[in-house]
Amino acid sequence: MTVVRCPTCDRPVEWTEASRWRPFCSERCKLIDLGAWAAEKHAIPGEVVETDDGPKRHRESDDE
């Protein structure tokens, strides 16, 4: 059986159909992670590009 660590709290999580929130240990940890993405605390590195709506967004670069 594969066991992974919850990305939010680091608890062990069995990677099975019974683990409803995998890779998270719970719905709470899943929502904490989602909130961090929404608040732009997590980002995928890439070059900065200008969009039509004004604010700058990041795009993955093929040059790296």
Instruction: Domain ranges for the chain, please list them.
Output: 3-59
What is the fold, at CATH topology level, of the domain defined by 3-59? Answer: Erythroid Transcription Factor GATA-1; Chain A (3.30.50)
50 is in an annotated binding site: no
Could you tell me the pLDDT band of residue 2, with boundaries at 50, 70 and 90?
Answer: very high
* Cβ-contact 15, 22 below 8 angstroms: yes
What is d(CA 9, CA 34) in angstroms, rounded to the nearest whole number? 14
Q: What is the pLDDT of residue 45?
A: 83
25 is in an annotated binding site: yes
Helix%, strand%, coil% for the chain, nearest 5: 20, 20, 60
Q: Is this prediction's pTM over 0.85?
A: no
Q: Is the dihedral of CA 24, 30, 32, 36 positive or negative?
A: positive
41 is in an annotated binding site: no
21 is in an annotated binding site: no
What is d(CA 63, CA 41) in angstroms, rounded to the nearest whole number? 24
Q: What is the pLDDT of residue 54?
A: 60
Give residue-wise pLDDT tens across range 11-61.
Answer: 999 999 999 999 999 999 999 999 999 998 888 888 877 777 665 555 554
